[in-house]
């Protein structure tokens, strides 16, 4: 029997790191937030608290430092007491291109086929699995999830039609979930782009 309850899931990309600033692929590298990233996480948290105004049941996060730090800031400001790590929310594995700048990647991998690159469908399947599991675990309560740019992009249907939309640091994407459907409400909005 299908659920009649519509649950809200808010996904947040982590704040800025020094590697973001340098244009380096982070992938599974465990890079912390920089000072700008901490400020972005705080602004994002305030926007969630003031403009989305929901009783969030929990925050489920990638355990990588940049995501975990973002989740901790949000938990403190929004007053969410449950914080859970899920490895399936980690960023895409870029293999040997991890840590490289765009210039280095273009020179070493001109075809864009990075050695050891995680397949897009594998990324999409594991992130979708993590989101649906978390939603089911906390159903029908609303949920916050903190993850990474490509990880979040992989489950937004509107980004699967070609083109390249880069999710901004500390951007917010909102979904509704009524089993079995995950539907995008909006995506890639920073704290100042959210309506009242």
pLDDT the model gives residue 2 = 45
Give pLDDT, residue 164: 60
Catalytic residues: 14, 91
| Distance separating alpha carbons of residues 129 and 192, to the nearest angstrom | 30
Contact 9, 135 (CB under 8 A): yes
Q: Is the pLDDT of residue 195 over 80?
A: no
Evaluate the CA torsion angle 27, 31, 35, 40 in order and state its sign: positive
pLDDT of residue 162: 54
Model confidence, pTM: 0.94
Identify the structural domains of the chain with CATH numbers, from first to last: 7-193 (3.40.50.1240)
- Report pLDDT digits (tens) over 41-68: 999 999 999 999 899 999 999 999 999 9
48 near 127, Cβ under 8 Å? no
pLDDT at 161: 62
Determine the straight-line distance between the first and last CA of the chain, rounded to whole angstroms.
36
Each residue's pLDDT tens digit, 74-105? 999 999 999 999 999 999 999 999 999 999 99
Instruction: Tell me which residue of 176, 167, 177 sits closest to 44, measured CA to CA.
Output: 167
Side-chain-side CA neighbours of 54 within 13 Å: the count stands at: 17
Q: Are 32 and 65 in contact (CB under 8 A)?
A: yes
Give me the sheet containing 83-85, strands edge to edge: 83-85, 56-61, 142-147, 7-13, 172-178, 181-189
Q: Which of these, 36, 48, 38, lies nearest to 12 by C-alpha position?
A: 48
């Amino acid at each position: 029997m299908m659920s009649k309850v519509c649950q809200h899931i808010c996904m947040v990309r982590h704040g800025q790191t020094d590697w973001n600033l340098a244009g380096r692929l982070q992938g599974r590298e465990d890079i912390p937030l920089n000072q700008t990233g901490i400020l972005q996480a705080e602004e994002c948290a305030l926007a969630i608290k003031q403009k989305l105004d929901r009783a969030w049941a929990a925050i489920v996060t990638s355990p990588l430092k940049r995501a975990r730090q973002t989740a901790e800031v949000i938990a403190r400001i929004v007053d969410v007491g449950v914080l859970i790590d899920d490895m399936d929310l980690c960023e895409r594995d870029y293999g040997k291109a991890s840590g490289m700048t765009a210039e280095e990647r273009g020179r070493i991998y001109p075809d864009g086929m990075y050695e050891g690159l995680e397949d897009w469908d594998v990324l999409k399947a594991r992130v979708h699995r993590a989101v649906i599991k978390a939603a089911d675990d906390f159903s029908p309560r609303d949920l916050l999830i903190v993850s990474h740019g490509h990880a979040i992009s992989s489950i937004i249907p509107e980004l699967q039609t070609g083109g390249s939309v880069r999710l901004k640091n500390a951007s917010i994407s909102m979904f509704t979930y009524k089993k079995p459907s995950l539907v995008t409400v909006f995506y890639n909005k920073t704290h100042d782009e959210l309506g009242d």
